[in-house]
Amino acid sequence: MISIFKREVKAYFVTPIGFIYMGLFLLITGLFFAFGNIFSQSSQFSSFLGNLLFIYLFAIPLLTMRLFSEEKRQKTDQLLLTSPVSIPEIVLGKFLAALVLYAMTMAVTLLYAVVIAIFGDLQTAEVIGSYIGFLFLGAGYISIGVLISASTENQLTAALVTFFALLVILLIDSIAQMVPADLKAGLISAGVLAALAASFIFLNTRNWFITLASVIVFGLAIGGFWFFKRAVYTGFLQKFLGWFSLNRRYQNFTMGLLKIDSLIYYITFCGLFLFLTVRLIEKRRWN
């Protein structure tokens, strides 16, 4: 994994991608800081940090688009997949390389906080919490970009799909408020999700017995909740969509609160998407 990590970090700076990412990110954040704090003589650093969420929509796709799609385009993926390094190590090495570049760029913006601390009133606990939150939030965004990059050989396609995926994540709380929350909608949603889960199991195992067993288990679970704890289905789809709300958990960090459940959530989220990436690559290799 270390060799993959070093190779990817080096690749960011051998190609223009790393410099373009850091340059554009720091340029835009610098403009936000200049107009939002320096020119307006404001020491409200929270507004600057809030703007970073918008910048990530464009920055993260630039950071992750080449991770796997470039390997496929240059036909070096087969060489990589037949190397002694395991697929989970390859995925983790590429993920960590992107995360390190992301963290390095974020660290530079701490200089803005230092300026506010010298010439204004800096809310230290909130700023520290926000930066820790950004680290975990960015890891979640990057894990999504890694999965999308592994699914296509076109970097532009990877960037665009990642952008729209992050946009949906950003708006998912608003979307959740618009979906129906009654019992019938919850039951139908649970059925659709169970069907998708069974399809995923079949595509990964190609085993009808395991798939049929999973369908029976899902069916019994859905029926059991319907007869014994029907209230579970009230707002079911809203709760499901809420699980993907990365930004909602981030709000705790902006108040200087380090909640263990939020940290576990981000780690679980990253683990899920990296696992899906591993499964996708393994499936492609054996095909």
What is the pLDDT confidence band of residue 285, given thresholds at 50, 70 and 90?
Answer: low
Percent of the chain residues topping a pLDDT of 90:
7
* ∠ Cα 16 21 24 (to 5°): 115
Q: Is the pLDDT of residue 8 over 90?
A: no
Do residues 125 and 256 touch, judged by C-beta distance below 8 A?
Answer: yes
pLDDT in tens, 21-50: 888 888 888 888 888 877 777 777 777 777
Q: Is the pLDDT of residue 130 over 80?
A: yes
Check residue 139 and give its pLDDT.
92
Average confidence (pLDDT) over 94-116 = 89
Check residue 95 and give its pLDDT.
92
Confidence (pTM): 0.81
Check residue 58 and give its pLDDT.
85
**Based on the number of CB atoms within 10 Å of its own CB, is 159 exposed (0-12), middle (13-18) or buried (19 or more)?**
buried
